[in-house]
Amino acid sequence: MGSADPFDDLPPVAPVVPLQPRRKATLATPAIVSASDLKLLRLERHAPFVDGLIYPGLTLLAGKSKIGKSWFSTDLADAQALGKRFLDHFDTTAVPVLLCALEDSLIRLQDRMRRLKGEFVKWPENLNFATELKPISAGGLDQLREMVAKTGARVVIVDTFGKLRGAGDTRNRNAYQADYSEIGQIKALADELRIAIILVHHLKKGAADDPLDEINGTNGLAGAADCIIILKRSRVSSDGTLYATGRDLREIDLSVKFDTESCRWSVVGDREEIERSDARNRIIIAIQQSNEPLTPKQIAEAADLSHASVKHTVRRMCEAEQIVRVSNGKYTLPRAGRDFG
Query: CA end-to-end span of the chain, whole Å?
Result: 148
Which one-letter DSSP state was computed for residue 92? B
47: left (phi over 0), alpha (psi -120 to 50) or beta: beta
Do residues 309 and 317 make contact, with C-beta atoms less than 8 angstroms apart? no
List pLDDT tens digits, range 52-97: 999 999 999 999 999 999 999 999 999 999 999 999 999 999 999 9
pLDDT for residue 266: 95
Residue 270's H or E segment, with its range, is strand 264-270
In angstroms, rounded to a whole number, what is the distance separating the alpha carbons of residues 90 and 53?
8
Q: Which domains can be identified in the chain, with CATH numbers?
A: 57-250 (3.40.50.300), 275-332 (1.10.10.10)
Mean pLDDT confidence for 327-341? 68
List pLDDT tens digits, range 136-182: 999 999 999 999 999 999 999 999 899 998 876 555 568 888 889 89
Which one-letter DSSP state was computed for residue 173? S
**Closest alpha carbon to 314 in 290, 294, 337:** 294
Does 187 score more than 50 pLDDT?
yes
Mean pLDDT confidence for 109-134? 94
Question: DSSP letters of 15-76?
Answer: PP-PPPPPPPP-PPPPP---HHHHHH--PPPPPPSBTTTB-SEEEEEEE-TTSSHHHHHHHH
Do residues 93 and 48 make contact, with C-beta atoms less than 8 angstroms apart? yes
Does 127 score more than 70 pLDDT?
yes
239-246 vs 252-259, strand pairing mode:
antiparallel
3-state SS assignment for residue 226: coil
Residue 247's H or E segment, with its range, is none
Which one-letter DSSP state was computed for residue 90? B
